[in-house]
Structure 1
Amino acid sequence: MADEIRQLGATTVLVCDPAGPPVATEQDALDLIGAAFAGAEVVAVPANRLDERFFRLGTRFAGEVMQKFVNYHLRLAVIGDIDEHTRQSEALQALVRESNGGNHIWFLRDLDALEARLTAGRAPTPPASGR
């Protein structure tokens, strides 16, 4: 499957292919943002496509990527199990909790959880061990 635009509820989402290229640079994030300009309001990126630096907050890569999405008024949903990462970092656990309480960046188990969040306006289902 290639990255594709889908309707989840009433929201247009760019659903990124889990086998797609890694998001390892700010330019990679900007490329996803550019692809979303085909009409998407949310970009759903599989966690496995994010470079490992994204989950090590000291690198500041996560902050740079997330800020790009906020600047371009797009929501970012990191989709998948980030259990291993959150077990290793209390700071990442806090970021996941804080992000999931907001409206711009979410960490969710799967696309069903994203659709539930978008359609019901409910709090997201936390990732496997984000809490």
Structure 2
Amino acid sequence: MDYIRHQIKDIQIAEIKSEHVVIASIEDATNLIGNSYYQGFDGIIVPEKSISPDFFDLKTGLAGEILQKFSNYRMRLVIAGDFSQYTSSKSLRDFIHECNKGKQVGFVASIEEGIALLEG
């Protein structure tokens, strides 16, 4: 896993680059938050493909627990990718819609949109 640093004004954004799943458990999320905070990042952009598919199955509870960690530690999170493969789940569509109303967590189509979201 690599961090790509984006600095927009006084905001430090970490773009996660990995060919593997980076977040598959609450422990993974907590470690990512800690490492990012230690390196001075204010927000994190994670590609959808770097997150376990279990996250997107709301029945597992993994999404709620992970997003709660990000909220508790006040680390903003953006998940960038194509979520159309999950459109059969109305509850997930609603979950994404509700997350996008707030400022803590966002679901976007691209890294560029994620940077703009964290900047604003």
**TM-score calculated relative to the size of structure 2:** 0.90
Cα deviation, 1:44-103, whole Å, max 9, x if unaligned, reads: 111001111100001000001100000001111001111101x12100100111111101
Give the Å deviation of 1:19.
1.5
CA RMSD of aligned residues (A): 1.6
Tell me how far apart the structure 1 counterparts of residues 109 and 25 of structure 2 sit (CA, whole Å): 24
Tell me how far apart the structure 1 counterparts of residues 95 and 17 of structure 2 sit (CA, whole Å): 24
1:16 and 2:16 matched: yes
**Paired residue secondary structure (1:100):** helix
Structure 2 gaps, min length 5: none
Bigger drift between 9-18 and 98-107 goes to 9-18
Superposition misfits of 4+ residues, deviation over 4 angstroms: none
Relative distance call for 1:42 and 1:81 in structure 2 (3 A) is: same
Residue identity over aligned pairs, in percent, reads 30
**Paired residue secondary structure (1:24):** coil
Instruction: List aligned pairs for 1:85-104, cutoff 5 A.
Output: 85=86, 87-104=87-104
Give the Å deviation of 1:20.
4.2
Aligned pairs, number: 119
2:16 maps to amino acid: C
Tell me how far apart the structure 2 counterparts of residues 107 and 84 of structure 1 sit (CA, whole Å): 14
Tell me how far apart the structure 1 counterparts of residues 33 and 10 of structure 2 sit (CA, whole Å): 20
Cα deviation, 1:6-56, whole Å, max 9, x if unaligned, reads: 214542111101424431111110111012111111111110011111000
